[in-house]
Structure 1
Amino acid sequence: MKATVLDNISAFNNDPVLHATWLYYHEGLSQTEVAKLMGVSRVTVVKYLQTAREKGLVQINLDFTAFSSISVSLLIKEKFDLERVIIVPDGEHAKQRQDSALMRERLANAGGAYLNQVIENGDTLGVAWGRTIHQMGNIMTPKSCKDVTVMQMLGSMPAQPDFTTIESSSQIANKLSGRVMSLHVPAVVSSSRLAIELQAEPIIRANFDALTKCNKAFFVVGNALDENPLIRVGVISKKEMQTYRDLGAVGVICGRFYDKLGQPVVAEVDLRILGISLAQLRQVKRRIFIAGGERNFDATLGAILGGYVSDLIIDESTAEFLADCSIPSLD
């Protein structure tokens, strides 16, 4: 791992953030030593360094080639014919605490760092929305890219206490110096007829046509349990979720459900969803998928078997499950 100070630091004495960044990353002082030298608390130094990362003054570059070359990563990669598998360490006491917020933060950090490494000039990136992706957009290190477009893959919903659907894609676009293309439609409408009519509108049709140009996609696992945020934000009801479970659904991506083998599970709601289809998603060249937690094991396996994943970012418990599990029969 290496850190590079990017901005001109000639005036760091007048800027405590730059001063702390220089002392910590360039001079190699500890946070305690920086605090003593600057006459501030260690907590203040931590805040300065976090600000430096958020502003892009410092870039932390992990060698993901090394992280994906450990034996378990290679086993999962070969077992499921994936491009790359990144396993995020759970951290001390994480398993005992079962801290979903901590796990989400770790996966969001890894996802942002990985996206920064694989994004290229001229890319069209499709993104889903949700808490993990919203958090990732907040903490990503800015990167200067050329001609990058970030596209929303599922229509919008009203702002939630912990994330905003449109803001999720716009934050990522901003961090990548790119432009954002939002789907200016609800994620779900009241009737299939209305969904057809909306998609026939020239402006909306152009947005949906643009989804076919995505060469990279970024999304997070979703299960078919009542805890799924799709229920909380109003995309589907608990009754509709139960209907999908009765039909064999174990997971959902951008409002589209699939079974344990990754095959689409279609119900009436699908006719009212406005977003990318699973068939379209499968055609995207690079499909980066984040998954973690025991409740998402079946959804993660189904997404892989369905061909919706090329690059996989997972926690240790999911890695253990995928390494040990048997691949379900098509019969």
Structure 2
Amino acid sequence: MLETSMDLHLLHRAASAYYLDGLRQAEVADKIGVSRPSVSKLLAEARRIGMVRFDVLDVPTVDLTELAARLRELLGIESVRIAPGDQVQRDYRGIGDLLAEELRELEIRSGEVVLVSSGKTIHAVTGMGGMPQMPGVLIVPTVGGQQEPDPSFQTNETVRRFADRTGAQPRFIFAPALTSPTLWASLQADPGFRSVVDLWDGARAAVVGVGGPYRGRTSLTSVVPRHEPTLESAAGDICLHFFDADGATLTFPGSEFLVRLPLEVLRAIPSTIALAAGREKAPSIRAGAKAGLFTSLVTDVPTAEAVLAEAGIELPA
């Protein structure tokens, strides 16, 4: 759903009259019975919530189809979608558009489960307009994060945003990402907790972020230690599962008490869509693919080129 305190029907009437019918703002004001300044506010709000969207098309510099084919072959995954331009600078708008396309093609049905992870990219795109409507679908978090100070790692909030945008039904995990041994034991016996995490098994799809290399990383959930020797070689993480450049799993003291989707369950999901943008994530994407943690990738041109270049593959002209 579109989130606003204004009347959605009035917003739609104003936006349609101005952008589709080509009326001037004064004419829109007369047509819908509001003041001229009110029309300006209505149009600005329609743009803010994604009811009205603009695209400034890039001048093509590469063949996106060829670039995607080479990247798909390198990673050994089912699908690669590449947004033009630098999507980090564009607040991931193109990533969100391509995720919407991917979800539409999956034709997810009422009663099926879609899992959602935490992370900056995931948090950004799940709040965007243009997502397909998925009534009756259950949106479920893959990790805990109830007490995280950074909104990007408050997975319940990301789930709620995504459910609002798609008309789906949210489910929440009321637990931190890292528990004490005592809390861990209590959660395993808690019916409310089990009713949510049991939905992980048999999920139809998952949307996950790809964390960058541990060393020098600026965005990291608060429960992961910042200077942990066992993670120094981590090329990245997905759903709080850290892996090295060869895709081998890495652990740290206490990681057995992380509230996260088990690796074997993640690998069994039919369609796991990884979202990643940023050249620094090139080794993370390659390592995540080696670990078998996603089946599809949505990225942008600079990131795709960086992954191929790191592998020594000549870029398409």
Name the structure 1 match of 2:180: 190
Deviates more, 1:306-315 or 1:152-161: 152-161
Q: Spell out the pairing of 1:107-122 with structure 2 (5 A cutoff).
A: 107-112=95-100, 114-122=102-110
Cα pair 2:18 2:28 within 8 Å, conserved: no
Separation in 1, partners of 2:135, 2:42:
33
Superposition deviation, residue 88 in structure 1: 1.1
Name the structure 1 match of 2:289: 304
Separation in 1, partners of 2:63, 2:149:
35
**Amino acid paired to 1:84:** S
Separation in 2, partners of 1:118, 1:36:
44
Cα pair 1:77 1:83 within 8 Å, conserved: yes
Name the structure 2 match of 1:90: 85
Name the structure 1 match of 2:315: none
Q: Is residue 181 of structure 1 aligned with residue 163 of structure 2?
A: no
**Amino acid paired to 1:236:** V
Deviates more, 1:113-122 or 1:161-170: 113-122
Superposition deviation, residue 34 in structure 1: 4.6
Higher relative contact order (CA 8 A, sep 6+): 2
Cα pair 1:105 1:132 within 8 Å, conserved: no
Separation in 2, partners of 1:120, 1:71:
28
Cα pair 2:100 2:132 within 8 Å, conserved: no
Superposition deviation, residue 285 in structure 1: 0.5
Name the structure 1 match of 2:217: 227
Separation in 1, partners of 2:120, 2:129:
14
- State the TM-score, normalized to the length of structure 2: 0.77
Tell me the secondary structure at the aligned position of residue 312 of structure 1: strand
Separation in 2, partners of 1:113, 1:34:
33
Separation in 2, partners of 1:236, 1:300:
20
Superposition deviation, residue 296 in structure 1: 1.2
- Among 146, 151, 158, which residue is 1:168 paired with? 158
Name the structure 1 match of 2:240: 255
Superposition deviation, residue 197 in structure 1: 4.0
> Identity percentage over the alignment?
19
Structure 1: tracts of 5 or more residues without a match: 1-11, 61-66, 95-99
Structure 2: tracts of 5 or more residues without a match: 1-7, 30-35, 56-61, 313-317
Deviates more, 1:179-188 or 1:260-269: 260-269
Name the structure 1 match of 2:15: 20
Name the structure 1 match of 2:32: none
Cα pair 2:131 2:165 within 8 Å, conserved: yes
Name the structure 1 match of 2:278: 293
Separation in 2, partners of 1:229, 1:52:
26
- Among 43, 47, 65, which residue is 2:44 paired with? 47
Q: Spell out the pairing of 1:5-16 with structure 2 (5 A cutoff).
A: 15=10
Tell me the secondary structure at the aligned position of residue 238 of structure 1: coil
Name the structure 2 match of 1:137: 126
Superposition deviation, residue 281 in structure 1: 0.8
Cα pair 2:278 2:303 within 8 Å, conserved: yes
Q: Is residue 148 of structure 1 aligned with residue 137 of structure 2?
A: yes
Name the structure 2 match of 1:76: 71
Separation in 2, partners of 1:126, 1:115:
12
- Among 63, 66, 90, which residue is 1:102 paired with? 90
Superposition deviation, residue 103 in structure 1: 4.7
Deviates more, 1:150-159 or 1:105-114: 105-114
Structure 2 CA distance for partners of 1:51 and 1:116, relative to 1, 3 Å: farther
Q: Is residue 158 of structure 1 aligned with residue 147 of structure 2?
A: yes
Superposition deviation, residue 228 in structure 1: 4.5
Q: Is residue 268 of structure 1 aligned with residue 258 of structure 2?
A: no
Separation in 2, partners of 1:69, 1:102:
18
Name the structure where helix makes up a greater proportion of residues.
1
Separation in 1, partners of 2:42, 2:101:
22
TM-superposition CA deviations, 1:41-62 (whole Å, max 9, x none): 89757525425744xx89x9xx
Cα pair 1:262 1:303 within 8 Å, conserved: yes
TM-superposition CA deviations, 1:206-226 (whole Å, max 9, x none): 322221121100011102135
